[in-house]
Structure formats: structure tokens, C-alpha cells
Amino acid sequence: MAESTTRLPDFKKPPVVEVVCGVLVRPIEALKAPHLGDFWTRIKADFPHCEEQALLSPVVEVFGAPPTATIQLTDVPPLPRVWFISQRGDRLIQVQRDRFLFNWRRLEADDAYPHFESVYGDFVKYLAVFRDFVAAIGGGALDAQQYELTYVNHIDGALIENAVSNLGRVFRDFAWVTDATRWLPIPADSTWRTSFVLPDQAGRLHSTARLLVDDETHRRLIRFELTARGIRADKTVEGMKGWFETAHEWIVRGFADLTTTDIQREVWERIDV
């Protein structure tokens, strides 16, 4: 692995459409359904809308085992996952008994990506509100089990002429060899997954690329998702910050490492090199 340089890769037009900061906690048994409404009153000025969603299963990075494991942390009956949504809809908070997440979402093509420091700052701000609320209802201190940082990128399918065989134009490690010895045709679809261990086994970085059809535009796109999950022994505020900074560095450098320099320069306008 090459040594890190001081400056992270930077792009004028990054394809990122969503960033998620989250923490998986030991289930808060004191948290009941009516409390979710009480919590909403504390943030409703910033998040005036709400929705119920299906629960997220706790997927935890385990070493000496498969890369991830779905675990059950408690037998307490689940509560629904609730989204608290900003007026514009570009920010949301997700709460369930064992999880707190903050999302930024790009709604329009010309929406500026606010950068990691801004998204993480909002995550920390509202996590503090949630932490104080849980303590107020007798739930004690939040017991973090794992942190999570996800970047979702939407890459125009036109860059590969909507063909799986051309994914190598975007991803430097992908190639579909076509010659006279092949029996199978060019694949109609593909999902490409890779995983990497973070330093000191602080977690893993997972990358996934797959071809989709955009629900609104009906155009083909590549959904390229990078997720870091894990935790260190230090669960203090500073320890959490250090983990997220490492996760962010690995996601940004990983994005640059997995994609081609031509696409970075010509389409996303990389400016740090």
C-alpha cells in the first residue's frame, strides 16, 4: 500500500449523491415508541417531516470470521426506523432502537456537495441532542458498538455506453475480455464487490459497483458505493472523530484508487494533481 500524502484527492464535480454518518449502539431498552415523538419535538424546527421505514439489521465487522456478520444485540421487540426530514429534503436523521444516522442527499444536479467536515459536524451536533434525550428518558449513556460512513456515487452510464464490458473505462481493475474463444456473450448486468481492512483492524472498507436504471430519468447509471464500518477501543468524542477521519480518508483515497485517472480528470475534474 502506498504511503498517504497530506492532501486528499479533490474534485470540482464529484459524482457523490449521498453521505451517511452513523453509529450502531447497544439497543436502548428504555426507548419506547412514544419517545420518538418526544425526540422529534427537539429537532422539529430543523426536521419538520417524518416517515417510518423498515428496520436496518445490525451488520458488524468481525475479524477471524467472514467480513461481516448480521447479529442480534437484544431480544427487546423492535421499534420502527423513523426518518426525520429537513424542509428541503436534503438532510435527514434516522433513528431506531440500536442506530442513529445522519444523511446528506443531493436532490438537484447542481446541488453543491457540502464536504465531509460539514456532514460530520451535523452528525455530531444532532447525535449530541439524541444522547441528551436518551439520558433524559432514563436510557443511560449510548454504548457505541460500531461507526459507519457511506458515500454513494451515481456515475452516468453513458461513460461506459451502458455496457458492462466497458466498465474498465471507469474502474481500473475491471475488464471483460472479448475474443473468439469466448462462449458467453457480454454480461447484461454486473455487481462488483471488494473489501479492504482498515489500519489496526479498525474496521473494513467495502466498495460496490452495479448498473441501475434511474427511477426519475430512466437512464442507466452506475451506483458506486463506498462504506467504512468499524470502531476502535477509544469511544470518546475524540476517538470517534479519529475513526471517522480515517474512514473518510480511506473512502476518498479508495475512490481515487479504484477509478481511472482519465475519468477523474475529464469528467469529475480532479484538481489536486
Nearest to 198 by CA among 143, 248, 124: 248
Say if 262 falls within a structural domain: yes
Q: How many CA atoms lie within 13 A of 203 on its CB side?
A: 26
Q: How many domains does the chain have?
A: 1
Domain of residue 251, residue span: 16-266
Say if 172 falls within a structural domain: yes
Say if 216 falls within a structural domain: yes
Contacts of 247 (CB under 8 A, 6+ apart): 147, 149, 198, 203, 205, 228, 230
The alpha carbon of residue 46 and the mean position of all alpha carbons in its chain are separated, in whole angstroms, by: 22
Say if 164 falls within a structural domain: yes
Cβ atoms within 10 Å of 237's Cβ, excluding its own: 11
Rounded distance between C-alpha atoms, residue 69 and residue 60, angstroms: 5
Rounded distance between C-alpha atoms, residue 122 and residue 271, angstroms: 26
How does pLDDT run along the chain (273 residues), one tens digit per residue? 555 557 899 999 999 999 999 999 999 999 999 999 999 999 999 999 999 999 998 889 988 766 565 555 556 667 889 999 999 999 999 999 999 999 999 999 899 999 999 999 999 999 999 999 999 999 999 999 999 999 999 999 999 988 888 999 999 998 888 888 889 988 888 899 999 999 999 999 999 999 888 877 788 899 999 999 999 999 999 999 999 999 999 999 999 999 999 999 999 999 987
Say if 11 falls within a structural domain: no
Say if 3 falls within a structural domain: no
50, burial (CB in 10 Å: exposed 0-12, middle 13-18, buried 19+): middle
Say if 8 falls within a structural domain: no
Say if 111 falls within a structural domain: yes
